[in-house]
Amino acid sequence: MVISMIIVFLGFLSLLKLPVTQFPSISPPKVNINAEFPGANAELMIKAVVIPLERAINGVPGLKYIDSDAGNDGVCTIQVVFELGTDPNIASVNVQNRVAAVVNKLPPIVIREGVKITREESNMLMYVNIFSNDSTLDVNFLYNFADINMLSEIKRVNGVGFADVLGDREYSMRIWLKPDRMLAYKISADEVMTSLEEQSFEASPGRLGESSGKKSQAFEYVLKYPGRFTNKEQYENIVIKSTTDGELLRLKDIADIEFGNAYYDLYSKLNGKPSAAIVIKQSYGSNASEVIKNIKAKLEEIKKSSFPKGMDYQIGYDVSSFLDASIDKVLHTLLEAFLLVSFVVFLFLADWRSTLIPAIAVPVSLIGTFLFMQLFGITLNLITLFAMVLAIGIVVDDAIVVVEAVHAKMEQLHLGPQEATKVALKEISGAIVAITLVMAAVFIPVAFMSGPVGIFYRQFSVTMATSIILSGIVALTFTPALCAMILKDLHKHPPKKNWLNRILTGFNDWFTRVNGSYKLLVEKIVNRRIMTFMVLILFCIGTWFVSKKVPSGFIPNEDQGVFYAIILTPPGSTLERTDEVALQLQEIASKIPEIKSVSSMSGYEILSEGTGANSGSCLINLKDWSERKRTISEVMKDLEEKSKDIKGANIEFFPPPAVPAMVQQEDLNSGL
């Protein structure tokens, strides 16, 4: 009994620390490299930045493949994917060393902007829209408020690997040069850039009267310089050129200066309203549910402390919604399976004392399994919970064997519960060990499978094997103690004749008759080998035909309550044209009752996380499963049918992958 108490105690402690995920992490380790080359197009980015970096990274230990993406916005992303089992920390260091060796060969402006190397999960954890019901708070304010006041707080949440506001709408001073004026004054763009660098800069003038060690000074003054220009007037008065006569050519003479944004490369909207979109990804190996819970608490804290009046946020995508709903269903199934097993045991043993013993022993084995899940680095996910549901029907067998053996000794030898338990345990100990080892041997070899499928089966097999082995230990230690304390000799003290006992007795008599009939049938056909083999062959052929007709797949797609729409307008289309298509799609989607909200991103393609004026994405969030009658597939087909009349764009709809971080999308058109 002490052993079982230790198992339960350690199991509970492990349960509190186990990460909760939807499925085991089967995505290989990835290292992302981001570089910026302002003003460059995709072709120049590939030649000047992507190719030198790829050549340097190629051959890094454990490398599987490299996936690169460059856009006409001067931004490129290189994703370095490693083999399963590679240490992500070592992989990140190796990539960083390779990049450092070649960074000096990149254009100076790229070096100035910085080459960023990050290591986070590739799948999106959350998508948050910041919007305002007050029309005076425009999208520029929303973006910069999120960038200045929210991003730093979100990034400090433990487990957040990446957080960014989509687009690049930072406040900046925009200088629109006038080519005709520049031609008249014979001024080039390089001269303007040189003047900006020479007159708007940070400097440290030092101090006056600093001690020299030779002669003391009366006072010491710290000199201050105002630094870079901060308003429109200062930039307008920058001197571009001067003559010997004292004439000055200022920047305002050849350009228009305005306070605006660095780029206008993305339009983000929530249900047609301008918004700032924050994308959040988790760090490698973090607990998704815990991270999302902490992010939500942080968002509420920021909202209460610093949000202006009329400003609010809405979570457009949240991995935990489907995760919590799925795990809740599995936990209900786990409870139902336990109650069903207890009912079946009671139905056949016809004694509540005998039923109570397996009902107490089974949870000990299941709770103890959590300890080994933590030791083997297994998460609490749908696969391991399914294994525990299946394990309930297996681990109960050992307890039933002990209980029935004790009952048999009490009936045959007329012994008390304690003496009968001792005698029974001497006879069945070897059988229990043999049963446990045979059952565990069925699942243990599966743990040695390799690849993504092997990770799934490994977690399943380890969960099953450990619960079975623990059930054997419990059957040899805890169950006999319960039998000695709880069981009662029913043969000396028969149960009272009531309606329940009559039902149980009638069921057991009927089952005995059925068992006898089955025994007679087996005795008749056991020697007819030809018939037996013919039936076996027919079953094998039938199984083969049925398996050919049943669709196959890795993990079936489920209704996760959200799906994507990818918008592609013809090459050369402007961002405004793409945004117009997204608004039309939003308007159509808002009339479908099952759709809760639509977040659009014009200029951003959510599949590859690339940017481009002729691409856009919509993240369509459905209402709770209890509030809608149609499935996600039916809603997608309805929206696809209603949006086919939108001209000048190709729109594709697809659900998120069944397994997070898996790139393959079954419903994605190959032409995309």
Q: What digits encode the pLDDT tens for the residues 177-212?
A: 999 998 988 888 888 988 888 888 888 888 887 777
Mean pLDDT to the nearest integer, 595-621:
82
What is the per-residue pLDDT for 97?
92
Burial of 309: CB neighbours in 10 Å, binned 0-12, 13-18, 19+: exposed
Give 66 or 661, the one with higher predicted confidence. 66
Mean pLDDT to the nearest integer, 506-528:
82
Helix or strand (DSSP H, E) at 156 = none
Mean pLDDT to the nearest integer, 605-624:
81
Q: Which residues of 160-170 are buried (b: 16+ CB within 10 A; e: fewer)?
A: bbbbbbbbbbe
Distance of alpha carbon 93 from alpha carbon 117, whole angstroms:
10
For 196, phi then psi, to 5°, come to -65, -45
Whether 263 shows a pLDDT value over 80: the answer reads no
Whether 92 shows a pLDDT value over 60: the answer reads yes
3-state secondary structure at position 174: strand
Distance of alpha carbon 576 from alpha carbon 436, whole angstroms:
67
Distance of alpha carbon 198 from alpha carbon 657, whole angstroms:
52
| End-to-end Cα, the chain, rounded Å | 62
Distance of alpha carbon 657 from alpha carbon 564, whole angstroms:
11
Distance of alpha carbon 655 from alpha carbon 558, whole angstroms:
9
Whether 135 shows a pLDDT value over 80: the answer reads no
Retrieve residue 147's tokens: 């960038």
Confidence of residue 563 (pLDDT cuts 50, 70, 90): confident
Task: Count CB atoms within 10 A of the CB of residue 567.
Answer: 25
Give the rounded distance of the alpha carbon of 245 from its chain centre: 68
What is the per-residue pLDDT for 121?
66
Residue 601's beta-bridge partner residues?
268, 617
Distance of alpha carbon 475 from alpha carbon 477, whole angstroms:
6
Mean pLDDT to the nearest integer, 608-619:
80
For helices 382-413 and 319-349, angle between their N-to-C axes, nearest 10 degrees: 10
3-state secondary structure at position 665: coil
Q: Are 623 and 594 in contact, with CB atoms under 8 Å apart?
A: yes
What is the per-residue pLDDT for 663?
47
Mean pLDDT to the nearest integer, 576-596:
88
Q: Where are the beta strands (DSSP E) in 305-369?
A: 311-318
Per-residue DSSP letter, 38: T
Averaged confidence pLDDT in the chain:
83
Q: Are 245 and 582 in contact, with CB atoms under 8 Å apart?
A: no
Distance of alpha carbon 359 from alpha carbon 357, whole angstroms:
5
Helix or strand (DSSP H, E) at 661 = none
What is the per-residue pLDDT for 666?
41
Confidence of residue 669 (pLDDT cuts 50, 70, 90): very low
Mean pLDDT to the nearest integer, 241-261:
86
Instruction: Tally the C-alpha atoms within 13 A of residue 596's C-alpha that lie toward its C-beta.
Output: 17
Retrieve residue 347's tokens: 């139905």
Cα–Cα separations (whole angstroms), residue 508 to 415, 498, 615: 24, 16, 69
What is the per-residue pLDDT for 285?
67
Q: Are 142 and 130 in contact, with CB atoms under 8 Å apart?
A: yes
Retrieve residue 614's tokens: 């002729």
Tell me which residue of 273, 292, 270 sits closest to 283, measured CA to CA: 292
What is the per-residue pLDDT for 496?
66
Token look-up 């043999």 returns: 434
Whether 531 shows a pLDDT value over 60: the answer reads yes
Dihedral sign from CA coordinates of 271, 614, 665, 43: negative
What is the per-residue pLDDT for 389?
84
What is the per-residue pLDDT for 668?
37
Token look-up 């001197």 returns: 239
What is the per-residue pLDDT for 418?
86
Q: Which residues contact 266 (CB under 8 A, 6 or more apart)?
A: 166, 167, 168, 169, 575, 601, 602, 603, 604, 611
Token look-up 């040695």 returns: 448
Residue 273's beta-bridge partner residues?
270
Percentage of the chain surpassing pLDDT 70? 95
Dihedral sign from CA coordinates of 402, 405, 411, 416: negative
Percentage of the chain surpassing pLDDT 90? 6
Retrieve residue 150's tokens: 């929210």
**pLDDT tens across 206-219, in order?**
888 777 767 777 77
Residue 275's beta-bridge partner residues?
131
Work out the angle at residue 645's Cα, subtended by the Cα atoms of residues 644 and 651, and round it to the nearest 5 degrees.
40
List, as one string, the DSSP characters of 230-274. -SHHHHHT-EEEE-TTS-EEEGGGTEEEEEEES----EEEETTEE
Distance of alpha carbon 328 from alpha carbon 648, whole angstroms:
44
What is the per-residue pLDDT for 541?
92
Confidence of residue 660 (pLDDT cuts 50, 70, 90): low
Confidence of residue 54 (pLDDT cuts 50, 70, 90): very high
For 324, phi then psi, to 5°, come to -65, -40
Per-residue DSSP letter, 667: T
What is the per-residue pLDDT for 120?
66
**pLDDT tens across 271-300, in order?**
888 888 888 888 776 777 788 889 999 999
Give 351 or 493, the one with higher predicted confidence. 351
**pLDDT tens across 104-121, in order?**
889 988 898 888 888 766
Distance of alpha carbon 503 from alpha carbon 499, whole angstroms:
6
What is the per-residue pLDDT for 55?
92
Whether 671 shows a pLDDT value over 50: the answer reads no
Identity of the amino acid at 408? A
Distance of alpha carbon 499 from alpha carbon 558, whole angstroms:
46
Per-residue DSSP letter, 149: I
**pLDDT tens across 4-39, in order?**
888 888 988 888 888 777 777 777 788 888 888 888
For 503, phi then psi, to 5°, come to -65, -45
Whether 550 shows a pLDDT value over 50: the answer reads yes
What is the per-residue pLDDT for 670?
34
Token look-up 């696809």 returns: 640
Burial of 644: CB neighbours in 10 Å, binned 0-12, 13-18, 19+: exposed
